[in-house]
Amino acid sequence: MHTFTVWAPAASAVSLVLTDASLEMQQAEGGWWELEVADAGHGTSYAFSVDGSEPMPDPRSPWQPDGVHGFSKVFDTSRFDWSDGDWAGRDARGSVFYELHLGTFTPEGTLEAAAGHLDYLVALGVEMVSLMPVAAFPGRHGWGYDGVDLYAVHEPYGGPEALQRFVDRCHAVGLAVCLDVVYNHLGPSGNYLDAFGPYFTSKHTTPWGPAVNLDDAGSDEVRRWICDNALRWFREFHIDALRLDAVHALADDSPLHLLAQMSEETAALSATVGRPLGLVAESDLNDPRMVEPVSEGGLGMTAQWSDDFHHALHTLLTGERAGYYVDFGDPAVFAKTLTQVFLHDGSYSTFRGKDWGVPVDPERHRGWEFLAYTSNHDQVGNRALGDRPALTPGQLAIGAALVLTSPYTPMLFMGEEWGASTPWRYFTDHAEPELADAVRTGRRKEFAAYGWDAEEIPDPQDPETWRSSVLDWTELDEPPHRDLLRWYRDLLALRARSEDLRDDRLGSLDISYDPEGSWLVVRRGALWVVVNLAAEEAVVPVDGVPPYEVMAFGSAEIVTDGVRLAGHGVGVFAA
Cβ-contact 144, 135 below 8 angstroms: yes
Confirm if 152 and 160 have CB atoms less than 8 A apart: yes
> From the candidates 99, 168, 282, 417, which is the catalytic residue?
282
CB count, 10 Å around CB of 196?
Answer: 22
| Nearest CA-CA partner of 483 in 372, 491, 557 | 491
- Total Cβ atoms within 10 A of residue 176: 26
H-only helix segments in 76-208? 102-105, 111-115, 118-124, 159-172
Residue 279 β-bridge partners: 242
- Helix pair angle (219-237, 159-172), 10° resolution: 50
**Secondary structure of 361-426 as H, E, C letters:** CCCCCEHHHEEECCCCHHHHHCCCCCCCCCCCHHHHHHHHHHHHCCCCEEEEECCHHHCCCCCCCC
* DSSP states along 23-86: EEPEE-GGGEEEEEETT--TT-EEEEEETTPPPB--TT-S--TT-TTS-EE---GGGS----TT
Please say whether the beta carbons of 359 and 346 come within 8 A: yes
For 201, residues 6+ apart whose C-beta sits below 8 A from its C-beta are: 210, 211, 212, 213, 214, 215, 216, 219
Say if CB 505 and CB 407 are below 8 A apart.
Answer: yes
Omega before residue 393 within 30° of 0, cis: no
Q: Residue 436: CA atoms inside 13 Å, Cβ hemisphere, count?
A: 14
For 446, residues 6+ apart whose C-beta sits below 8 A from its C-beta are none
Q: Which of 245, 307, 369, 504 is catalytic?
A: 245
Q: What gap in Å lies between CA 473 and CA 562, rounded to an integer?
A: 39
CA–CA distances in Å: residue 46 to residues 4, 73, 196, 362, 535: 9, 6, 16, 54, 63
C-alpha span between 151 and 63 (Å, rounded): 8
561 catalytically annotated: no
Residues near 292 by Cβ (< 8 Å), separated by ≥ 6? 298, 299, 300, 364, 365
CA distance 212 to 219: 9
Asked about 180 being catalytic, the answer comes back as no
Contact between residue 461 and residue 436 where contact means Cβ atoms under 8 Å apart: yes
What whole-number distance in Å separates Cα of residue 200 and Cα of residue 73?
25
Could you give phi then psi for residue 572, rounded to 5 degrees?
A: -115, 125
Q: Is residue 44 a contact partner of residue 55, using CB atoms and an 8 Å limit?
A: no
DSSP H helices in 175-330? 219-237, 258-273, 307-318
Q: What's the rounded Cα separation, in Å, for the pair 424 and 386?
A: 5
Active-site positions read 245, 282
